[in-house]
């Protein structure tokens, strides 16, 4: 099944989507080659898959390709997906893996993650008397996130952009919770060190300790 065929199918399935079905129901239907179930899953998860891929790669075309690849992965792995478990953690895992592959191939094109930056410096966002500091902090934070190792970058994206807690991230990445906590800690410490003198004024370090 080719990506362009899938995209065309997505356009025609809007009126067939039944959001009352559980993920497990849809996977069971997909196993019977009911492609409308794939369209329903696409509509249900395309937002969170796309934004996660975009936050990691910061490339719209890459995020769209990863979204389509995730759709293909569901189709290809329908027989092996555990229908008793939520689909979201599995999809996050696939999204992270595909984003990692893309990033390794295009490492020289890494650019900052604006959405995550906004989460990290949100205390300044509504302070009119700190507009200049806010803008400078955006620049510094973007650069700092860009320089994080991939494994730290991913946990920052999952935690701050997707509001996932440590157990959820650990499940998605198939890691011990202690490892996730460690990566979050070192990512936060790296950001705090890089941002240096701005910490006290902007409260960027809120929640880091």
3-state secondary structure the chain: CCHHHHHHHHHHCHHHCCCCCCHHHHHHHHHCCCHHHHHHHHHHHHHHHHHHHHHHHCCHHHHHHHHHHHHHHHHHCCCCCCCCCCCHHHHHHHHHHHHHHHHHHCHHHCCCCHHHHHHHCHHHCCCHHHHHHHHHHHHHHHHHHHCCCHHHHHHHHHHHHCCCCHHHHHHHHCCCHHHHHHHHHHHHHHHHHHHCCHHHHHCCCCCCC
pLDDT (0 to 100) of residue 124: 44
**Mean of pLDDT over the chain:** 77
Q: Is the pLDDT of residue 190 over 60?
A: yes
91-108 pLDDT, tens digit each: 999 999 999 899 888 765
């Amino acid at each position: 099944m080719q990506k362009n065929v899938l995209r065309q199918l997505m356009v025609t399935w809007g009126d067939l989507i039944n959001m009352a079905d559980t993920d497990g129901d849809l996977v069971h239907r997909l196993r019977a080659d009911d492609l409308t179930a794939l369209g329903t899953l696409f509509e249900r998860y395309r937002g969170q898959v796309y934004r996660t891929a975009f936050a990691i790669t910061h490339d719209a075309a890459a995020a769209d390709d990863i979204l389509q690849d995730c759709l293909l992965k569901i189709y290809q792995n329908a027989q092996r997906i555990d229908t008793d478990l939520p689909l979201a953690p599995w999809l996050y895992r696939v999204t992270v893996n595909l984003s990692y592959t893309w990033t390794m191939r295009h490492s020289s094109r890494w650019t900052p993650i604006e959405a995550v930056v906004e989460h990290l410096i949100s205390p300044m966002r509504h302070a009119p008397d700190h507009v200049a500091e806010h803008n400078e902090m955006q620049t510094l934070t973007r650069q700092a996130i860009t320089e994080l190792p991939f494994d730290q970058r991913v946990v920052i994206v999952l935690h701050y952009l997707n509001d996932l807690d440590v157990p959820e991230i650990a499940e998605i990445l198939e890691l011990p919770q202690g490892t996730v906590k460690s990566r979050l800690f070192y990512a936060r410490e790296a950001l705090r060190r890089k941002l240096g003198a701005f910490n006290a004024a902007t409260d960027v370090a809120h929640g880091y300790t």
